[in-house]
Structure formats: structure tokens, C-alpha cells
Structure 1
Amino acid sequence: MSTNLDAARAKVAEQVKVDIFTLTQEEDNKRGIQEVSRSFISDTITVPTPEMYLYASKASVGDDVYHEPCMIALEAHMAKITGKEAALFVPSGTMSNQIALRTHLKQPPYAVLCDHRSHIVRYEAGGLAFHSGAHAQMIIPSNGHHITLEDVEENIVLGQEIHSCPTEVISLENTLNGTIFPQDEIIRISDYAHSKGVKMHLDGARIWHVAAETGKPLDELLAPFDSVSLCFSKGLGAPIGSCLVGPKEYIQKARWFRKLFGGGMRQTGFMAAAAAYALTYNFPRLPAVHELTRKLEVGLIEIGADITSAAETCMVFFDPSPVGVTYAEIIERATQLPDPLKLGGSRLVVHIQTSPQAVEDFLTIVRTLAEEKKAAGFVPPEKKAYPNGRPYSSIYVRGVKREAH
């Protein structure tokens, strides 16, 4: 009987076991890292380095639902540097935002006012409606760049008029599409919101870029907000995780919602360690990312392409049609390189593992295509000034003129 049972167990064990590595896993990983260095799709594709893995391997092995020392230390550090009372680690930025809003929203009807381009309404799978049953009051910024207090005053819903859905939270995003939200405008909106009893949330997934570019400390940048979500897996290059910060009682409730959402985790020490490594060693690399993005922008201007959203941090949006080139042509040419580039259209995202050679190769493609179009008889349209009189050949970032040279 025992022999038969042992044989049955061995058979089940044989069915269960698995080796997920390829026969060439080490080479595959090297190839994957090379591909990441030549991709302009997103900064979420960055990969952990051997040094990050080594640091993470030394992490504590507690259970985060009960007591995880490294995670407790990371959350305490995040609360300290953001100027908030408490912090909560979650698997993703989407979960962080959705838990943040659900914790603020207590008794319907209620609405969240935000930019129409916001991640919370465009890229979180309808979570605002699903998780919170909330109405989204989306604003198109009148200046084309960021929401202003005047935009908020025009769209906010206050009072007890029963045909309307009252605004409970104003959710801003910084950066949004790589652009920096002016701090003075944030303060104006926050002062007004709080005077009306309205909460302020920030999707600060890429707030690290704002701090790196402006030199402003996080506690100053985040002071106007009741809650903030910060991401470790985008610009900072950690493999997983975001952090929600806010008042102690608020974070206690958010932790409950994290459990309800299925986000309670166990041995998270290695996640905390990877995030800590990213904060320590990858944050200082962001200014170089911004410089490389500006190099990309200036190169496109010199070729004759239009810049539709300037390189304020790690992104630049462009239009190649003024030189007769299409996105499809650029993408096709990029895939034909011996070492291909990965592109997604008008948005170019630079990250801590972007190769400077990838930038040069991209600009060479656009330049070559433009020259081919010109040789074939394409005549570029006459350049016009922006409505404010600024020439297309100049880029203005937060009021400062940056010429192509």
C-alpha cells in the first residue's frame, strides 16, 4: 500500500514540477536588456540590474500582512521624505490610485475632477466607476498644458443641487505626459479646494522627475495634497510597486482596502529592497535622462519635425509630417536596423537604460527619410508661428526659450 502511494505521489510530483528557464536563459536576458536600451515605448520596461537583484536578495523574510521589517522601513522612509504621516506599499500605480480615491470617497453621490488625459480615467480600466461608483468630471485645460484654478472653478460642482454630482476629490497628475505641473498653480487649486472641503489627490507616478528637474524636495512638492501615489517601477526602474502616502488614519483605511482589493502580500522584503535600491542609485540618474530627451527633441527640430509636447522631463511628442514623413515609415525603417528600435508613434519615452546610441540611430532614421522625401520632390510647408507668436523652431519649457542648435 505504501509503495503504491509513494509511486502515486511521485507521479503527481512529476506532473507538478516545471523549469521556466530556456536553455539559453543568460543570453536571452542579455538580449532582453539590449532591447530595452533601444525601446522608446515606455519607462515601465526597465529591468532590474544584477546589483539590484543582489541587494534585494539580502532582504528580510517577514509576512507583510503581519510584520515585514524591510517593508516597514521603506514605508516609514516614504512617509518621511514626502512629509506625510504614513505610507502603504502596493503592487501597482493603478491600485495605488484606485485605493486612494476609494478611501476618500465615502458616501455617494460623488465625483472626481481631473484632467481629461489623466491616467485614472484613461488607463485604469474604468476602475473609478467599478471600484468607487464615482463620476469623472474631466477638464480640457484651457491653456493646453495643465489645469488652472480658473478651469477648476468653471467645472467643479459644489452645493446641494440634486441634479448634479458633487465634486469630492480633485485629482491632479505630475508629470502628465512628461510635462511638469507648475507648483504655484497646484497651490492655488489646493487652497481653493480645501476652502470648499474638497480633497486633493496626486497621481505622482513620475513625481521623481519633477524633483530631479526642479530641485524641489518631495515634501514641498506634495504638501498641497491629502494623498499621493508614487511609482517605483517607472522612472526609477524597480521591478514592481508603488506607494500611497497620506494621514495615518487614512492609510490605515487604505490598507484595509488593499486587502479587499486582493493586494495583501506576504514576503515583500525583496520588493521593498528593490525599491530602496532604485531610490538610492537610480533617482540620481534622472537628470541625465532629461538631457538625453532634450537631445532627442533638439535633433527633431533641426530635421524640421514639429514638437507637439516639449521635452520637460523624460518624454517628447513629435509630428514628422512637416518633412513629409509618417510614423509608419519611421517604425518600418526602425525595425529594419541590424539592432532594431522599438517605437510607438508620436510619443518617445527615454529612461535610465536608454542607450545614447539609440537616440542617434532614431534621429538618423528621421533625417534620412526627410532627405529622401526632399530628393523625391517633397516641399515642406511654410513654417508658421504658434498663436502666441512663438516660432515653431523654438521650444518653450515653463516660459524658458530653448533654441535648436
Structure 2
Amino acid sequence: MDDLTTTPLSAELLRGALDLERTEHGLLPHRLPARARAQCTDGQLAMAEAQPSGVRLVFRTRATVVELDTLRTKPAYAGAPPRPDGVYDLLVDGRLAGQSGVTGGNVLMVDMATGSAETRPGPVGTVRFTGLPDRPKDVEIWLPYNEITELVALRTDAPVEPVPQGSRRVWLHHGSSISHGSDAASPSTTWPALAASLGGVELVNLGLGGSALLDPFTARAMRDTSADLISVKIGLNLVNMDLMRLRAFTPAVHGFLDTVREGHPTTPLLVVSPILCPIHEDTPGPTAPDFSTLGAGRLQFRAAGDPAERVTGKLTLNVIREELARIVEQRAADDHHLHYADGRELYGEADFADLPLPDQLHPDAATHRRMGGRFAELAFGTGGPFTARGD
């Protein structure tokens, strides 16, 4: 039996979270601050912001054994195939050295037809990593992007100490479920995590599945978060939800960017339009589940809007791209640190032919890898908006 020591879990061991909540079990990372959470009672947002995409434990140790007790809350959807279990990625000095998962935990059962949800309680589980190199090293444990994760206890067979932040720039990113992680293979291989690794920056991921809706409280959270680089990926959820018309969209984008700029007046800020999604290129939302493929074990989505409604101001992805490009061009005349990127540079028509969206909406693991590399080249490459001075 290993002789393990428990290290108290604290903010100095965590990165990527904007708030930490003490619960009866331990520590619950949040990706929106308490003030923002208090301003919206939407269940989808509550689930998304508490799923710790991009959140990781970071510490220095010579331990060869690491155990982490957690209480997960895994979503499940009535009538749909089971969602895959979350994955924990363990990195040693920046390189993947292990992957595992936990058992037990709560189940959040969601009925997409009615919007109702109930939590079925379960026990705490343990993720365990062994055989780590017996030398001083930096260890990162990336938490699952698709499971709410309460941190209960950290045990190791050697002392643990925090890792100083260092000189790496902080990249703050906001987007939809695709930025959140959608169907990436693991938490360190979502496209933002891969792009951050390639760009040599620290990621704060505010990708919020189903909740990139130009909410003012999200803009204020970004305004108040320390960052050296900022990107905002806008569009798909606004079509998904059929949330607003063009008349409301334009001032909402301006207001969101105005708020971010209050805290970051000269920070490089990249506005990214949606990646290609054929069902919504020219057809408005809402997006509806297509249950016809459930018999084959797949859930797909369809566009439930009418293309003729574009004349009334209904949003499509092409309408959004055109308007975002216009807004950024207008603002960039006075804001020389503001930039625009067409999301189809990350995933476009040729990519769809090669790597189609399995459910018509979300990219798969291979597409995340492709998008991460593309974003790194676009943003961090020579001449990109996030290129470090002197590069």
C-alpha cells in the first residue's frame, strides 16, 4: 500500500477557473463568477460553466503516485445514447503522461423535449496515476470538459508545491460548445487547449456549451479577468436558440465588445465568426434534435427554421459572418488592436467533405486537432494578432 500524503486543495493549485465554491464535498471550480451566475437561472448555462473545460490542477512534485478524489456530475439525455465518460489528462512537464477516469458520481438527467432535469446522486470516485518519473517535475491534471467536477482530495507519495505563474501570456477565450470541447478526445485536446499549447500561452477557456449568447454578465466576467490576449467566437448559439434578430444582434455585439474593452482597452482582441455548419449556413434556427437516427445509436440535429424568414431579420451563419466582419472593420478604424477571423478558416467546406460533423453540429476529435493547429497558425503565427512582440 502506498504511503500517501493529503495536500489541501486551494486556489493556488488551480488554473483556468474564475471562481471556486466550497461545497459539502470539497471545491467546485466555476468558469463564471458568482455575480454572473446570480444573474441567470438557465440550467444549460449552470451546467456548462461548472463543467471545468480548460481547468487544471498544476503543482510541482517528485511524486510517482497521484490520486485525486472527485465527485462528478455527468449529464445524460432522455432517449439519447449515453454520453462518453469524462477523461482526466495528466501532463508531466507539458507532455501527456497518463489518462484515466472516475466511477460513481451524480447523473444529471435532461429531457430535451421538455427542458426538465433531475439529479440522481452517486458516490465520490478516485482517479489514480502511477509510475510517474521519480524526479522534480511539473504535473498538470486537466479535468474533464464534459462533467461537473467537485474536487474532494489530492494525495501523493511526495510533497506538493504550487508552480509560479511564470512569464507565459494568458489567453482568455469565449465561445460555444465547440470551444467548450464538444466531442474532443480529452480535456487537453480540445481545440483551444491544443492552440494554447502550440502558442505557448496559459488558457482560460470560457467556451460555454449552448451559452455563447452575448450575455452582458459574460462580457463583464471577461472585462474583470486578467488577460494578455482575448478572443470571442460569436454566432452559432444565437442561431441554435433563435434568440434575436439582426436588429438586436448588431448593438449586442457592440455592447459586448465595449464591455470587454472597459477592462482591456489595448489588449489584442480577436473576433471569430462561426465555423462551417451546413444546416445553418442559410437556414435560421432554432436547432432541433433529430431523433430519427436514435435507432442506430446516434443523435443528430437539424435546422428547424425557414430560409424565407431571413428577410425579417432572422439570423443565419452567413448573415452573422457578414455583420461581424462589418462591425470589426468599423470599430478597427479606432481600435487598432481589434481583429477579425472568418471561422471557416478553421473549418470550411473542404474540411466538411473530409471530416463531416457527425451530428451535423459538433466536430469530432480529429477536427478539434485540425482546428487547434489552424488557430495557432492564424493567431500565434508570424503576423498574427497574437504574435508576441519581437517575433
Given the two structures, how large is their TM-score scaled by the length of structure 1? 0.21
Give 1 or 2: higher strand fraction. 2
Structure ID, larger Rg: 1
Structure number with the bigger relative contact order (C-alpha 8 A, sep ≥ 6) is 1
What TM-score do you get using the length of structure 2 for normalisation? Answer: 0.22
